[in-house]
Amino acid sequence: MVWALPVCLLQVNAVEQLDTFAKARDIKGIESLAAPELVKRDAFRFLQRGGAYGVGRYPWSVVRLKDAGSDKQYAVFTTRLTNEDIGEQVFELKGEKLEREVDEGDNMGFQVKRWDFDVSFRPETKQAFILAETTFHRLPGAGQSLQIRLSPHYHMGKVTDSSGAEVPFEQGGGVVSIKAASTDTFTYTLNYSGEVNQPGFAGNIQGDEAMLTEDYWYPMIAREPAPFSIVAHVPEEWAVVAQGRMESDQVASGVRTVKYVMDVPVSYLSLSAGKYKVAQVESGGKTYRVWSKVMADQAMQDQVNILPAIFDYYSETFGANPFRGWGALVTRLYSGGALEAYSFATYGPGWLPANEGHETAHTWFGGLLVNTYLKSFWNESFADWADGLYHRRGPIGNRAEKEVASMPAPFADPSYNRASCAEAGAEAGPVASSVGYGKGADVLLQMEQEFPQMLSWVKEWVQERPAQRSSNWEDFEKVCGSQTKWFFDQWIRGKGYPKFQCTNVKWAKGEVTGNVSFTGSPYRLTTDVLLTVNGKNQFKKVVLNPDRVQTSSFRIPCAKKPSMVALDPWDRLLTDRTGADPDRIAEFFGHAKCYVAAGSESWLTPWRSLLGRANPVNTMPSKLDGWLLITDPSRDAQAAKLLKSVGFIVKGNKLTYDGTTIDLNAGCAIAMVALPDGGKCAFALGKSRITPEVGKCKLGLFDVYGRMLRAVSDPRTKGNLAFKL
């Protein structure tokens, strides 16, 4: 007689073994209990690689999850979670084996159509109590149960249907299996709570503030978007900050009850409440706010004054802002950096005030156009690119001068060889961030070069966005049309970046010619070209390698022989480049010594953070080469003479340059100056409340918020893409 253990016992033992292996991050041990297909595709690499934003830094464990509508069972690999990263990893069990992975993007035939939340807190125990009235829609092929996901510190207490009857459910980690109704659309009320105590990582409740932001406090299916409302109950002296529009704010018996409605379907939900100060400004029919316990009042007011220009430009460029305004919440509870919430964003201390266009751009890229982060970080690419676009082309200052002075300089990171933009989602690990924020933004900068109509495509994409569905690179490609397939093949679906050499560059018979040879994949590249003829610079464009072959040639019409030919003189191409940088204030600050004249001490403030460890002195140096000089030219004849050589004329508190005048009490200027006896120094004048954004300029004028008004920048004329003829 052969004795066999019951299947349920085998499953329990398997889960216990998996838990032991997971705690030890023993991938080989787990693979011994997994189907060959899972082993083949390295399905357990998350244990060692982790996610893009730090998920996996805390221990993993494995728990069993029973399906609420069938005899299926799952093993849930669970750990602490933070937003926009990998989630818990779920595998279906067959006996003792992990049979298949249940991808988080698998909706199992169900969709969340709407959430209506009722939220309250118990600050002394760091607890949040949530009722989530959730409307689900059954899709073709759906089974008898659905799976929703929360952060694992939330525990489901009860699920009821619209009649109040209890609905069967099972929970494993943050994954909850719920028996589905038979109708196409049905509404359940999910009653759950959790201790929200993940400082420096995710949600946190401390003292007189509660932050659910950065937490999965809402029930998700495949991270797909839905509209929602929030009713929050907090102490009467608290303010509530949530997404969308505030519908009501009432106080009764010491409790403040606030309702927000978010009509735009989104995947990431933020909610904070606390004893915040608030600053606000009205502009163009919109209200801009900053909430904080930690920012100084003037800094808060500066930030709300900065916001309207950013949103005016984005609304004109990408389509109307759908919200009544926008806000910034600055709190010590946030782990660092910032997190978008589309009608506001949450920031850690020390970032604001700033002329910050990234989180603001997420209103369009992440909000109106939704990204789940499961497949790619495309919206981070668009937000970084949009930030640069605003600094180059925004309404403040001289656009032509800003276009080159504020041009990003792409950095060719070796990590780009490991994943493509199209497939660098959270599970790709840290490379997802470098590709998403870095390469993707640089690719969009290149797309501007290749297709002058690009901005109209972006606006069309926003306007024709899918209803309650996330988007991806492929959706943008469809808007752009078949003419761009080569571009998406090359830059979005392809790994790496272009590596090439230019040789045999010469002039003859009214044209400059040269050869281009690629190491690795060949690319088609449109780039600026600088031609110096009779001491004067002229700029043209050239398409390198239009047929995308390994070796090709190029031709540039030029009636007279140039003394210099420089490809990509403004450093727009994502490629390896060599050669000393042209004169740039940013690089000068890296090694400059600093002199501050008596009476000019307040002029140091705008530049202090750029100087690094340099300690200012108050004794005028005998040799000025390599010095940053902060001195009032109205009281310093030598400074006045040197500044006149670059076009700065100072009379009292007014500085004039090429027809532009600024008040040095509410603006500042900087310039590199060539010294008569050789070498260079720099002068800084005036006051701003925010560090000026100097970009690539060697001379710049800035307003009180550090925004560039005027700039002079030099092209690159040295290195592997520059040729003397």
Can you spell out the DSSP letters for 216-270?
--S-BSTT--EEEEEEEEEETT-EEEESSEEEEEEEETTEEEEEEEEEEEES---
- Domain ranges for the chain, please list them: 7-94, 104-275, 276-363, 378-492, 500-577, 585-712
pLDDT-derived band at 1, boundaries 50, 70, 90: very low
Q: Residue 71 has what DSSP assignment?
A: S
- The mean pLDDT value for 604-628 works out to 91
pLDDT score, position 467 = 86
* Banded model confidence at residue 614, pLDDT cuts 50, 70, 90: confident
Mean pLDDT of 635-659: 96
* Distance, CA of 480 to chain centre: 23
As beta bridge partners, residue 646 has none
CA distance 380 to 398: 27
Q: What is the pLDDT of residue 318?
A: 98
Task: Write down the mean pLDDT value for the chain.
Answer: 95
Question: Percent of the chain beyond pLDDT 90?
Answer: 94
CATH number of 276-363: 3.30.2010.30
10 has a pLDDT exceeding 70: no
**pLDDT of 608 over the 60 cut:** yes
pLDDT value for 580: 83
> What pTM was computed for the model?
0.96
Q: Are 676 and 722 in contact (CB under 8 A)?
A: no
- CA pair distance 29, 47, nearest whole angstrom: 12
What is the chain's Cα-based Rg? Answer: 29
* Distance in angstroms (rounded) separating the CA atoms of residues 373 and 379: 9
Model confidence pLDDT, tens digit, residues 559-573: 999 999 999 999 999
Percentage of the chain beyond pLDDT 70 is: 98
Mean pLDDT of 586-601: 93
pLDDT at residue number 4: 39
Q: Which residues contact 189 (CB under 8 A, 6 or more apart)?
A: 131, 132, 133, 134, 159, 160, 161
Rounded average pLDDT over 603-627: 91
Q: So what's the pLDDT on residue 2?
A: 36
Which of 393, 358, 523, 502 has the alpha carbon at shortest distance from 446?
A: 523
Which pLDDT band, with edges at 50, 70 and 90, does 457 fall under? very high
> Please, which pLDDT band fits residue 437 given cuts at 50, 70 and 90?
very high
Rounded distance, CA 147 to CA 700, Å? 56
Burial label for 497, CB within 10 Å (0-12, 13-18, 19+), is buried
pLDDT band at 590 (very low <50, low <70, confident <90, very high): confident
pLDDT band at 93 (very low <50, low <70, confident <90, very high): very high
Across 398-414, average pLDDT: 95
Q: CA distances (Å), 439 to each of 376, 412, 456, in order?
A: 12, 8, 22
* 221-235, 445-459, 575-589: the lowest-pLDDT one: 575-589
pLDDT band at 7 (very low <50, low <70, confident <90, very high): very low
- Rounded to an integer, the average pLDDT of 627-655 is 95
Q: What is the CATH number of domain 104-275?
A: 2.60.40.1730
CB 145 within 8 A of CB 179: yes
What is the per-residue pLDDT for 159? 98
Predicted confidence (pLDDT) per residue in 124-167, tens digit = 999 999 999 999 999 999 999 999 999 999 999 999 999 999 99
Specify whether the CB–CB gap between 121 and 206 falls below 8 A.
no
Q: Which stretch of 311-315, 334-338, 473-477 has the lowest confidence by average pLDDT?
A: 334-338
d(CA 262, CA 213): 15
pLDDT of 261-271, one tens digit each? 999 999 999 99
**Which residue's entry shows tokens 């125990």?**
125
pLDDT in tens, 347-391: 999 999 999 999 999 999 999 999 999 999 999 999 999 999 999
Residue 514 is predicted with a pLDDT of 97
489-516 pLDDT, tens per residue? Answer: 999 999 999 999 999 999 999 999 999 9
Burial class (CB in 10 A: 0-12, 13-18, 19+), 627: buried
Residue 699, SS3 per DSSP: strand
